[in-house]
Amino acid sequence: MPVRKATVDRSEPSPASGQLPKLRIENLSCRFGDIQALHEINLTVEAGEFVCILGASGCGKSTLFNIVAGLQKATSGNIHIDGANVNEKPGHVGYMLQKDLLLPWRTVLGNITLAAALTRGTRDADKEQARELARKYGLGDFLNHYPHTLSGGMRQRVAMMRTVAAGRPIMLLDEPFGALDAQTRLGMQQWILEIWRDLGVTVLFVTHDVDEAIFLASRIVVMTPRPGRIAEILEVDLPRPRDFDSLTTPTFVELKRRIMRHLYGKDSDHG
Ligand SMILES: Nc1ncnc2c1ncn2[C@@H]1O[C@H](COP(=O)(O)OP(=O)(O)OP(=O)(O)O)[C@@H](O)[C@H]1O
Ligand SMILES: [Mg+2]
């Protein structure tokens, strides 16, 4: 009997690798009284992805993050992390809120170790980890400074380090660079890609800046105005490491045009 050669049929979906998606958002809707904030959001994020979320103000991006973080109840739908339902169960993700919310009476070190302080008390190992993170990511000279003595960019770095120090494999970052000037922002974008690459974490990142989204993301989720739905999910097929030349390639320009059409309804030269 002839031996049949095993072949892989590329038209078939690849067999389950046994690995569950890192995060699955399933039929998620959220209503506040008369306001429908989110409508039937479905999104699967694989481990190690960098997903940017773009959408008009008020389309529900922060609401989506609050629900994924377990801080807010959805009207319907489910959140799964590594296959487990985590609806209304906080503590599974690192979350950097839209406002940096550093505690003014704690030093940089005290702010970075906040998660440990709040849960089980800060240990020497937490402080050592915080010092190491701070040194590695450019805050080493500021560990004993108080937030009011830092620039906006430094404050955002501290807030980001606090999120990293919480040690969760998924990080939700809600407009972390929104308040920064353009030049500081460019440095921060390079910096966050370095952290993402070093730590192998899964990142969901809200921004209003289309260039920033394309520069950072593996995929971009474009949302409709309220009620927020997913308008389109775009793959960002730009090689890494990316640099500022990536922002002028035909792939970049075409992606930007598509996103602008969603956000502004026509070709646009905004941004
Ligand atoms: N706790 C709440 N109670 C009532 N309405 C709320 C609540 N939280 C959010 N909303 C409403 O839900 C909608 C979505 O708000 P959300 O803050 O999620 O938008 P967003 O996309 O993050 O906006 P922005 O880009 O301005 O940050 C808004 O209309 C907002 O007023
Ligand atoms: Mg918001």
The DSSP call for residue 228 is: B
Pairing of strands 230-235, 219-223: antiparallel
CB of 32 within 6 A of ligand 1: the answer is yes
Element (H, E) at 112: helix 108-112
Residues 6+ apart with CB under 8 A from 266: 260
Helix (H, G, I), strand (E, B) or coil at 205: strand
Q: Which pLDDT value is given to residue 119?
A: 86
Task: Indicate if the pLDDT at residue 250 is higher than 70.
Answer: yes
Best substitution site from 28, 39, 62 to test ligand 1's pocket, by max atoms within 8 Å of Cβ?
Answer: 62
List the residue whose alpha carbon is closest to atom 29 of ligand 1.
Answer: 58
Task: Indicate if the pLDDT at residue 106 is higher than 50.
Answer: yes
Q: Please state, in angstroms and rounded to a whole number, the distance separating the CA atoms of residues 67 and 89.
A: 9
Pairing of strands 170-174, 35-45: unpaired
Per-residue pLDDT tens for 165-175? 999 999 999 99
List the residue whose alpha carbon is closest to atom 8 of ligand 1.
Answer: 63
Tokens representing residue 1 in the block: 């009997």
Task: Indicate if the pLDDT at residue 5 is higher than 80.
Answer: no
Distance in Å, CA 222 to ligand 1 centroid: 17
Tell me if 134 sits within 8 A of 95, measured CB to CB.
no
Cis peptide bond upstream of 176, omega within 30: no
Tokens representing residue 7 in the block: 């072949």
Per-residue pLDDT tens for 199-247? 999 999 999 999 999 999 999 999 999 899 999 999 999 999 998 899 9
Per-residue pLDDT tens for 30-87? 999 999 999 999 999 999 999 999 999 999 999 999 999 999 999 999 999 999 999 9
Band the pLDDT of 3: cuts 50, 70, 90: very low
The average pLDDT across 90-112 equals: 92
The average pLDDT across 237-263 equals: 93
* Radius of gyration of the chain, Cα coordinates, nearest whole angstrom: 20
Specify the range with the lowest mean pLDDT, choosing from 4-18, 55-69, 178-192: 4-18
Name beta bridge partners: 84: 81
CB of 110 within 6 A of ligand 1: the answer is no
Band the pLDDT of 18: cuts 50, 70, 90: low
Per-residue pLDDT tens for 118-152? 888 999 999 999 999 999 888 999 999 999 999 98
